[in-house]
Structure formats: structure tokens, C-alpha cells
């Protein structure tokens, strides 16, 4: 009688699954940095995950997560339209971070990539 071993095919199958998972670039696996005060996610459809975010005045650590299949930017603009701090940039599966000195007030979060004019949100700082 012929004995058949399934160990080798099973090991090969499991290895293939692990390799595919490691190389997949799954933007759903992004984890925000633990020190982030505000986490903004860029999603497919040229939108942010929320229309409004909140923070406490002072140094605000902002994390930008690329959960979209294309590149996005993030500008923080004061009520008078002036850019505050550095522009953040993400591509699919990446994270960018910045620290902003913000006083109480409302700020606009904007993606300035051409054609992404709908990517705006409010950041309320109290």
C-alpha cells in the first residue's frame, strides 16, 4: 500500500501564504504611532476618514496614514489660510508624521494634490 505524506505540500502552501501576506502592501495593516494625538487616514475616493478631528492646544503630533491606492498630501492651514508646519505625504501603505504648535481655533486639513479638491477636513483645537 502506498503511503502519502501531506507534510511537504502543506508546508509549501503555508510558506506561500506567508510570503504573499508579507509582500502584499496591505494598507489596512497600518498601525498609527502610539504617540499620535491626531490620526488622519487618506482613503480611496479622494477622501479623509473623517470630516472633523479634535486636538488640545500645544504641540500636536499628527500621523497621516496612506490607506489609498494613490499618493496624497496633508497640509494644516490656519483660519487665515496660512500653512502651518510641514506638508505630509503618503503613498499606499505608508505613514508620515509631523508635530505642529497649534493654538486654540479651527484649522483646515487639505490634500493639495491636483484633482483632490474634495479632500478637506476641519481640525478643532481647544
> In the chain, where are the structural domains located?
30-125
- Beta-carbon-side half-sphere exposure of residue 28 (alpha carbons within 13 Å): 2
Burial 40-64 (b: 16+ CB within 10 A, else e): bbbbeebbbeeeebebeeeebebbb
Q: Please tell me the predicted confidence (pLDDT) of residue 23.
A: 40
Task: Give the span between the Cα atoms of 100 and 110, in whole angstroms.
Answer: 15
Distance of alpha carbon 12 from alpha carbon 6, whole angstroms: 10
Helix (H, G, I), strand (E, B) or coil at 104: coil
pLDDT of residue 25: 46
pLDDT at 4: 54
CATH (residue range 30-125)? 2.60.40.420
pLDDT in tens, 14-32: 444 333 333 444 455 789 9
What residues in the chain have per-residue pLDDT under 50?
1, 6-26
Amino acid at each position: 500500500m502506498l503511503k502519502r505524506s501531506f507534510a511537504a505540500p502543506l508546508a509549501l502552501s503555508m510558506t506561500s501564504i506567508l510570503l504573499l501576506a508579507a509582500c502584499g502592501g496591505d494598507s489596512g495593516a497600518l498601525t498609527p504611532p502610539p504617540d499620535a494625538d491626531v490620526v488622519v487616514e487618506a482613503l480611496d475616493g479622494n477622501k479623509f476618514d473623517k470630516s472633523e478631528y479634535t486636538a488640545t492646544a500645544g504641540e500636536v503630533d499628527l500621523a497621516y496614514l496612506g490607506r489609498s491606492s494613490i499618493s496624497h498630501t496633508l497640509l494644516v492651514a490656519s483660519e487665515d489660510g496660512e500653512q502651518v508646519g510641514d506638508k505630509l505625504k503618503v503613498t499606499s501603505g505608508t505613514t508620515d508624521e509631523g508635530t505642529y504648535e497649534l493654538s486654540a481655533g479651527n484649522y483646515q486639513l487639505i490634500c493639495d494634490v491636483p484633482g483632490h479638491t474634495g479632500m478637506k477636513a476641519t481640525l478643532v483645537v481647544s
